[in-house]
Structure 1
Amino acid sequence: MTKILQLSNIVGLLLVLTMNALANILPIAGYNTGELSDLHRYYCQFYYTVGRY
């Protein structure tokens, strides 16, 4: 049972790292992941009100 869990953790980690690399390498409509994130700036008022108290 533990060997199956270890193997599934390793496979899952490799999948996550692969998907992250592909998201940064392959552009979406000419933008990479960081550029898409920077396009939409919005601020949550709830965050600032909670942070003050």
Structure 2
Amino acid sequence: MASELFCGAFENILHHNYKMYRILKDGFIEIVEYDELLEKFSCTSYFFELKNIE
């Protein structure tokens, strides 16, 4: 089954309430601004952290 969910789609939906990070072998890096270069078609993992909403 093929899926066409791209990193940018998640970023567009979640960026107001979540911080986006790319998981690296030795830690994390925050993705401050979306860039098409993030769409690497290999095994890449991201996670989203809920921002402090007051």
Q: What TM-score does the superposition give when structure 1 sets the normalisation length?
A: 0.23
In our comparison, the structure showing a higher alpha carbon Rg is 1
Q: Which has the higher contact order (CA 8 A, sep 6+)?
A: 2
